[in-house]
Amino acid sequence: MLVVEARGERGLTAVLRGPTVLEAAICELPAPHLLVVDLTMLTYLSARGTQALLQAVKRCRHRGIAACLIARPGGVVDRVVWSTGLAEVVPVFPNRLTAIAASQPTEVRWLPN
């Protein structure tokens, strides 16, 4: 699992533009892993930022990697994620714990030795 935290106004653009550490990490993660993009520290999310997120999610899916977003419920970023339809494409969670728990198997079976 890879957790990326974006901060401030330009945080997301800096993380997602061009060939970045995020792109390199996505290329290196073997499936099935999870990319968690934490947007709770962002103060602004532009249309360009939502497009960059959508492209990152598509790159993950192409490589067999699940992706999700974390956005503070009712916040500015959360409203942008929902109003742009991004939330219909990628799961959105209120915090990291919920996102990580949702990616875990719902049932665990112990096999005898």
Domains and their CATH numbers in the chain: 2-103 (3.30.750.24)
Dihedral sign, CA of 51, 24, 41, 89? positive
CB of 50 closer than 8 Å to CB of 81? yes
Query: Which alpha helices (DSSP H) does the chain contain, by range?
Result: 11-16, 21-28, 47-62, 76-83, 86-89, 96-103
- Mean pLDDT throughout 3-9? 78
Residue 47's pLDDT band, with cuts at 50, 70 and 90, is confident
Place of tokens 């993950």: 60
Between 25-39, 41-55, 83-97, the lowest mean confidence (pLDDT) is in 25-39
Span 61-102, pLDDT tens digits:
888 888 999 999 999 999 999 999 999 999 999 999 899 888
